[in-house]
Structure 1
Amino acid sequence: MRQTAHFRPVGLASMGLGHYAVINSVWDAARTLLRDWPVDDGEEYFEAVKSCLDAIIGDLPPEHVRAAFIRAAQEAGIAVIEAAD
């Protein structure tokens, strides 16, 4: 895996009751998808999990994981909060 597996932070709201999380790495994204995600199906969900695995073995840059993670959140109805550049 690349030495730097971090990406621009992604804020998530409503993952459970009153929960807020900031995800900023491939590892955080993978852990959140596999342990805390409200649904474990959906095309974007599976793509995001696959993206995490691909990034862990070094075949995908972290920013691709970030984009897939955001799409999975939108699919699951989770509010995404992004800071302006």
Structure 2
Amino acid sequence: MGLGHYAVINSVWDAARTLLHDWPVDDGEEYLEAVKACLDAIIGDLPPDHVRAAFVRAAQEAGIAVIEAAD
């Protein structure tokens, strides 16, 4: 991602792709939990809302702002 860039995350697949290809750091505890959450959700062991929470925590850990869309 980088300064001034943004991504719209609409699915577990989008979250996984962003974490694996565009994330600025790959060694934080929350980052690793978010990657694991994505994998667990892809195989059906975790609901998407848990992935979202893990993704937001990883973003906070990495200093990435998260803008939440209204439901």
Q: Secondary structure at the match of 2:9?
A: strand
Cα RMSD of the aligned pairs, angstroms, is 1.0
Provide, for residues 1-42 of structure 1, a one-character-per-residue CA deviation record: whole Å limited to 9, x for no partner: xxxxxxxxxxxxxx3132111101000000000000000011
Distance 2:56 2:3 in 1: 20
Shift of the alpha carbon at 1:83?
2.5
TM-score (structure 1 length as normaliser): 0.79
- Rg larger for: 1
Identity %: 93
Q: Secondary structure at the match of 1:47?
A: helix
Distance 2:18 2:6 in 1: 12
Distance 1:78 1:39 in 2: 11
Distance 2:22 2:13 in 1: 13
Equivalent residues, number: 71
Out of 27, 30, 51, the residue aligned to residue 65 of structure 1 is: 51
TM-score (structure 2 length as normaliser): 0.94
- Structure ranking higher on relative contact order (CA contacts 8 Å, 6+ apart): 1
- Unpaired runs of at least 5, structure 2: none
Distance 2:4 2:64 in 1: 12
Provide, for residues 23-79 of structure 1, a one-character-per-residue CA deviation record: whole Å limited to 9, x for no partner: 010000000000000000111000000000000110000111000000000000000
Of Structure 1 and Structure 2, which has the larger fraction of its residues in strand? 1
